[in-house]
A = this chain, B = another copy of it.
Amino acid sequence: MADAVRLDILARSRVSRARLGRLVTPHGDVRTPAFMPVGTRGSVKGILPDLLERSGADICLANTYHLLLRPGPEIVRDLGGLHGFMNWPRPILTDSGGYQAYSMADLNRVDDDAVTFKSIIDGSMITLRPEDSIAVQNALGADIIMAFDDCPPPLAAEAPPAAGPESGADPVDPRLARVLKRDARGRKQFDLRERLRVANERTVRWLERCKAAHARAADQALFGIVQGGTDPEARAWSASRITAIDLPGYAIGGVAVGESPEDIAAVVRHTAPLLPDHKPRYLMGVGYERDILAAVLAGVDMFDCVLPTRNARNANAFTPTGQIRLRNAKFASDLEPIEPGCDCPACIGWPSTTGAPSRPFTRGYLRHLFLAEEMLGPILVTLHNLRYFQRFMGAIREAITKDDWAGLVGRFPVAAPALVGSGVP
């Protein structure tokens, strides 16, 4: 059986691992390297889908965890699957729900079989096994679905306070007893490295179960996820075991959970080349322009991040020289658009049928909208940020064909740090 998606590589950089491609999916093609806006609950917040399409997005992402809790996979399926539900006829990717089950629930438990967590909607306890995640994603019907993996806390994070067995609280994981060690003063300590090893092994076993449970391989591509934190050996082990399972694409997970840009770049430079060259590579949850560019240079094809949408709702607008905070008093009477030269609806305005010239929405007006808590503020800045990210990806795709990386960071100075250590001249 042919894979549900296929990556055609159209051009390769001669000075880096970057590649220009076309990801062919059941709902159309995606230009790669691609940035996928996030529509958590089946909507990119405040954005009509035609405006999302006009931003240049070829594909968007929705979150299984949120849609599982509300409205539930049966409702989404009855309303036409995610494409019909969202009224978005282009490609869609869903995550597995695992990450949110860990990070959003006050209470969760993981063992070799499943993650159990408390619903943020009604407080009920929900058990999600790899098979359940795939069944939900099969019902949602995205073009690309993600493996359900064990997502431990990042190695870089603080060790949890002594809320382990000593305090009387339930352990996060019954198997954690194995990874609690005594420190020099005899106190139990949470061994994150050991926890990572457990997660890595479990993620491989769960991927097998995901693949076996997947009922729509003909029209939904299941991607495996490489874990391993910032440990090169753990990453290599994971890549070797995950890619040994034949799938249409692979992702790098567990990145951008608090590391420095240098650590992100190091993990991605180490891991991306370990994934099959002829299949799409997806770096989950990344991110800033410099992180995206560093990953593209390492051979990554797909990205998603809430930055453009979430930051927009906080009045932070992306520009090639860095974000601007539109609540700042200095913008009160500013007649300029967010970013002069940008072609988004906020920066160029709209052509009225009156024949009045198209004029930008001014920074002064945008500031007013945010101070007055008017929805139109988040909407306009989201439109800008979405278009900004697509312009950035377009410039990256152009740079690949020309290998003009200096030209790219000339246009997007904020991404310049990505060239440091990349090997690109």
Q: Using a CB–CB distance below 8 Å, which chain A residues touch chain B?
A: 27-28, 41-43, 45-50, 53, 66, 70-71, 75, 78-80, 84-87, 89-90, 332-333, 335, 345, 349-354, 356, 359-362, 364-365, 367-369, 371-372, 374-376, 378-380
Contacts and interface: CB of A to CB of B under 8 A. Distances in A.
B375 A45 contact: yes
B376 A47 contact: yes
Nearest to A380: B48
A360 B49 CA distance: 12
Contacts of A345: 48
A267 B74 CA distance: 53
A383 to B, nearest CB: 8
16 contacts: A41-B372, A43-B375, A46-B376, A50-B352, A53-B352, A70-B368, A71-B364, A71-B368, A79-B365, A84-B362, A85-B364, A87-B361, A87-B365, A89-B356, A90-B352, A90-B354
A89 B332 contact: no
A368 B48 contact: no
Given A359-B84, A365-B86, A354 B46 contact: no
B371 A70 contact: yes
Instruction: State the copy count for this chain.
Output: 2
Contacts of A374: 41-43, 45
B379 A378 contact: no
A156 B364 CA distance: 43
Between A335, A345, A378, A379, the greatest number of chain B beta carbons within 10 A of the residue's beta carbon is seen for: A379
A424 to B, nearest CB: 34
A85 to B, nearest CB: 5
A27 B78 CA distance: 48
Given A48-B350, A78-B364, A89-B354, 6 more contacts: A41-B372, A41-B374, A45-B374, A46-B375, A46-B376, A78-B335
A50 B350 contact: yes
A48 B372 contact: no
A49 to B, nearest CB: 6
Contacts of A371: 70-71
Given A42-B365, A49-B350, A345-B48, A75 B332 contact: yes
Contacts of A78: 333, 335, 364
Contacts of A351: 50
Contacts of A42: 365, 368-369, 372, 374
A89 B70 CA distance: 41
Nearest to A378: B375
A42 to B, nearest CB: 7
A369 B375 CA distance: 15
B71 A362 contact: no
B350 A75 contact: no
A330 to B, nearest CB: 13
Contact of A45 (B70, B86, B376): B376
Contacts of A349: 87
A247 to B, nearest CB: 26
A393 to B, nearest CB: 18
Contact of A333 (B41, B53, B75, B369): B75
Nearest to A374: B43
Nearest to A50: B350
Given A50-B350, A90-B352, A333-B79, A375 B372 contact: no
A318 to B, nearest CB: 20
B364 A75 contact: yes
Nearest to A86: B365
Given A87-B365, A333-B75, A362-B79, A70 B353 contact: no
